[in-house]
Amino acid sequence: MSRATAVAVGGSFSTTARRRRELAVPVRCSLSAAGLAAVAPILRDLKMKCDTPLPVLRHVADSMSADMRAGLATNGGSDLKMILSYVDSLPTGNELGLFYALDLGGTNFRVLRVQLGGKEERIIDTEFEQVSIPQELMYGTTEELFDFIVSGLARFVEKESTKFHLAEGSKREIGFTFSFPVKQTSIDSGILIKWTKGFAVSGTAGRDVVVCLNEALVRQGLDIRVSALVNDAVSTLAGAHYWDEDVKVAVILGTGTNACYVESIEAIPKLQGSAYGSGKTIINIEWGAFSTGLPLTEFDREMDNESINPGEQLFEKTISGMYLGEIVRRVLKKMAKASTLFGDSFPEKLSVPFSLRQISFIIEEYILNDWMVIHPCYHETETMTLSTPHLCTMQQDDSGDLDKVGLILSGTLGVKNSSLGARKIVQDICDTIVKRGSRLAGAGIVGILQKVEQDSIGQIFQKRTVVAMDGGLYEHYPQYRHYLKEAVAELLGVEVFKNVFIEHTKDGSGIGAALLAAANSKYFA
C-alpha cells in the first residue's frame, strides 16, 4: 500500500499507527444463560428465513429467466428493464491508439488511460486514478457532481506521460462507464432512469448523462469526445471478451450489483419490426430490481422501508456490498435490546443507520491482513458503522478468542466488553446474511444461463461458457465467492457445471470502457 493510497483513504501511516496503539483491546465478559436464551430464538428465526435450499434457489433462477423474457417482450413487462446497450460488436484486438475511460458507479469514480497496440501488442500500458466523491455531492446538483468529476479527469489528463500518445490525426476519446439505470438511446447517449446506490442528485433523472458530462467538459475547457456510454457490467463483458471469446455473461458484485449478457436480436420481441436487423447485442439486465421469490426477513423490510427507494432494488439490497453490513447491524440491534448479548448497557452506535461513505474494497487486502491498519480511515465520517469489509474480516477470524471480531465490535460499535459466546453469535449472523446473498446471486447467474440455453440448445451448457465477474465484494470476500459457486454447482449439476467457468476479471469495467471507446472511435474504422 503506497503512502498516496494511505492518505487517500484517510490518514498517514504515522497517524494510523498512533490510533492503532490508542485503541484498547476489548475485555471479555461471559454471556449469561439468560442472555443466550433470549438471543437463540432470534438467531433461529433469522437462519430459517434466510435459508436458501435448492428449491428456493431453483425458484429464484426460474423467476429470473421468466422476468428476463417478459422484459424482452415489451418495455415495462417485468421488474427487469432488459435495456439495449447498442454494443453490437465487441472489441476484436485490432484497436490501436490512446483511449480514456471514466468509471462512475459508486462512492468513488475512476479515470483510466490505455495505450492499445493491435493484435500483436494488445494492451501496451495503462494508468488509472481513483477519486472519492464527497457525500454532499451524492445529494447535490447535476452540475456540482459532473464538474467535480471532470475536474478530476482534467487533472489526470494533464499528467499524461510520453509513453502514451494519440494516433496521428486523432483527438482524445473516452468511454463513459455509468453504472446506474439508463435508457440507452445510442452507443453514446442515454437517459438516466433513476439514481441508485444511495445517490439522489437533483436535475439528472430524465436527462442524457452524456450531455451532462459534455456540458461539464465545456465548462472545464477539456477537449475530449465521449464515444461510448456503457455500464460497468457491459464494459466488464467487453473487457473480458477481449481476452476470451467464450465470455457470454458479466456480473458486477460490489457496492451495487448488475448483470448483462450476449443476446440474439431474434430473441428480443420488443425489437421486432425495427431496423435493428439480426445478429447479437449485449443486454443490460439491471438485475438489482429483481424481486420474485426472495427470502426476506423483518430486517430486510425495515431497511427497505427506511431507504431512499422503498420497494425498489430488492435483489441489490439482498446481495450487494452496500447493504450486507446494515442488515447485520439491524439483527444485532434487536438482539442487544432483547438480551445482555453485549453486557448490561445497550451500545448506542447500534442505533446509527449505515453511512453511505463506506470503506472501498480497493484496499480490502489490507483489511484481511491487518484490520487495524484500515480501521482508522473511518474518521472520514462522524459515525462508524458496520460495513461489508468488517463482515469479511469477522467471518474469516479463525483465532481461538475471535480477537478481530472483538476489535471490530469495540472500534466500530463501541462494544467494549464482548464475550467469546457473543463473538461467535456475531460471526454466525455474518455467515447467515452473506451466505444468503451470495447463493441468491448464484441463482441469478443460473437464471441468465438457462434462459440463453433454452433459446439456443447446446450453446451454453454443452460448451465452454465463461461468466466474467468484477467488483470488490466478489474479488475480496472468499466466503462470498465460495457460496456463490456452490449454489451455481448445485443448480446446474456436476456435468453441466464443468462447462461453466466463473472467472474474476480484474478492472474489467475500466479497461472495457476504453476498449469500447476504441471500437466506436470517430477516427478509426
If DSSP states are collapsed to H, E and C, what string results for 175-205?
EEEECCCEEEEECCEEEECCCCCCCCCECCC
3-state SS of 80-111?
Answer: CCCEECCCCCCCCCCCEEEEEEEEECCCEEEE
| Model pLDDT, residue 108 | 85
Query: 178 and 104 in contact (C-beta within 8 Å)?
Result: yes
> Longest Cα pair distance anywhere in the chain, in angstroms?
77
Q: How far is CA 126 from CA 177, 340, 395, 452, 507, in A?
A: 17, 54, 35, 34, 11
Report whether 111 contacts 129 (CB < 8 A).
yes
CA 289/CA 247 separation, integer angstroms: 24
Segments of the chain scoring below 50 in pLDDT: 1-29, 355-384
Return the pLDDT at 5: 35
Query: Checking DSSP bridges between strand 280-284 and strand 257-264, what pairing results, if any?
Result: antiparallel
**118 grid coordinates:** 493491435
Q: How far apart are CA 183 and CA 458, in angstroms?
A: 32
Contact predicate 367/393, CB 8 Å: yes
pLDDT digits (tens, 9 = 90+) for 509-524: 789 999 999 999 877 6
Neighbours of 296 (CB within 10 A): 17
Q: What is the DSSP letter of 213?
A: H
- Which pairing describes strands 182-186 and 189-192: parallel, antiparallel, or unpaired? antiparallel
Q: How many CA atoms lie within 13 A of 57 on its CB side?
A: 25
**Model pLDDT, residue 278:** 64
Please give the helix or strand (H or E) that residue 66 lies within, else none: helix 54-73
pLDDT the model gives residue 21 = 38
Cα angle value 194/195/198 (rounded, 5°):
150
CB 26 within 8 A of CB 418: yes
Report d(CA 227, CA 204) in Å as an integer: 20
